[in-house]
Amino acid sequence: MYGKGLRPLAIVTCVVLTGAFALAFFYAPMDADQGLMQKIFYVHVPMAIVSLLGFVLGAVFAIQHLRTGDRRHDLRSYVAIHLSLILGVGVLVTGSIWARAAWGHWFVWDEPTLVSFLIVFLLYCCYQPLRFAIEDPDRQARYASVFAITAGAFVPLNFLAVRLAQQYAHPRVLGSSDALPPKMRLAFLVSLLGMALLYTTLYRFEMTAKNTRLRVHSLKRRLGGDVVLGRSAAPR
Amino acid sequence: MIAETTAALPDNTGYVAAAYLVFLALVLVYLVVMAIRFARLERDIVELDELASKGSAPAGE
């Protein structure tokens, strides 16, 4: 079911992402202050937005899991958070590279945007150890859902707190209409769409893999074979 | 065109290339991990196939 339409989605994702980066380099004008370095913006910011939205999505699935008791929602929540964490690594690394190029430091510890993202990231780094420290599958799913909801609620609160902060060196992108010239805005929006498509593709790819794996193990059990669950075991 | 425009600005080509390469590497590593998992799944399916063949084989074979 999850694998259906995955190939066209993957092709569209590749086309949109390639188009987005082409727009960023050949269509969007060069930034007057930062020059070429500002092009990092088109990969770093969309990745950060999609990563944070993924965490919120994980919380939404967790709520559904607690409401219905359906383990499929728990699996969805797990995959959403897992992918957001991977993108989070990308956000921190590309952000550090940009910070080094722009400010001369890999990380600025008194910058609310940077520190708050790091806190959110580290918070979610606890998700998997917490999850796999619990052996009972039902308890594991329940505790993980509670964690996902609590941490997910922290994401928008964190966003608001950062926006209310007075002092910052990190530029503002959302909510300031004059922040980007039209050509840059178009390149940014296409990049954001590409990143969202990448997240969707990887999400469906991962769900397909996990569901197929679960079905294979279920079949193996029914046929009397030994089932060995690997390290990458999905929520069981 | 980019070279002309950036002539007056600091050259940060290395940093920009590094940022985009990090993104590509991240996606690539993810896909490699997924490919390994799919290969393991394929082995499981072969094993399943063998189990099913044994199960459906006539008694005494």
Chain segment B20-49, per-residue pLDDT in tens: 999 999 999 999 999 998 898 888 888 888
Instruction: Say yes or no to pLDDT of A234 above 60.
Output: no
A171 falls within a domain: yes
A162 falls within a domain: yes
Instruction: Say yes or no to pLDDT of A226 above 70.
Output: no
A232 falls within a domain: no
Lowest mean pLDDT among A145-149, A190-194, A217-221: A217-221
Residue A13: which residues within 8 A CB-CB, separation 6 or more?
A194, A197, A198, A200, A201
What pLDDT shows up at residue B58? 59
pLDDT tens string A79-135: 999 999 999 999 999 999 988 888 888 988 888 888 888 999 999 999 999 999 988
Taking contacts as CB-CB distances below 8 angstroms, the residues of chain B near A40 are 15-16, 19-20
Q: Measure the CA–CA gap between A227 and A217, rounded to whole angstroms.
A: 6
What pLDDT shows up at residue A76? 94
Give the one of A37, A224, A230 whose C-beta lies nearest to B15's C-beta: A37
For chain A, the average pLDDT equals 86
What pLDDT shows up at residue B49? 84
Instruction: Say yes or no to pLDDT of A228 above 60.
Output: no
B2 falls within a domain: no
B61 falls within a domain: no
Indicate if ipTM > 0.85.
no
The number of folded domains in chain B is 1
Residues recorded for chain A: 236
Find the domain containing B35 and state its range: 12-56
Find the domain containing A123 and state its range: 6-223
Give the one of A35, A205, A223 whose C-beta lies nearest to B34's C-beta: A205
What pLDDT shows up at residue A217? 84
pTM: 0.85
B7 falls within a domain: no
What pLDDT shows up at residue A230? 47
A230 interfaces chain B, CB cutoff of 8 Å? yes
Instruction: Check: CB of residue A187 under 8 Å from CB of residue A41.
Output: no
The number of folded domains in chain A is 1
Q: Measure the CA–CA gap between B8 and B6, rounded to whole angstroms.
A: 5
What pLDDT shows up at residue B45? 86
B4 falls within a domain: no
A230 falls within a domain: no
B36 interfaces chain A, CB cutoff of 8 Å? no
- Contact across the interface for A223 and B55, Cβ inside 8 Å: yes
A1 falls within a domain: no
Q: Left (φ > 0), alpha (ψ -120 to 50) or beta: where does A5 sit?
A: left
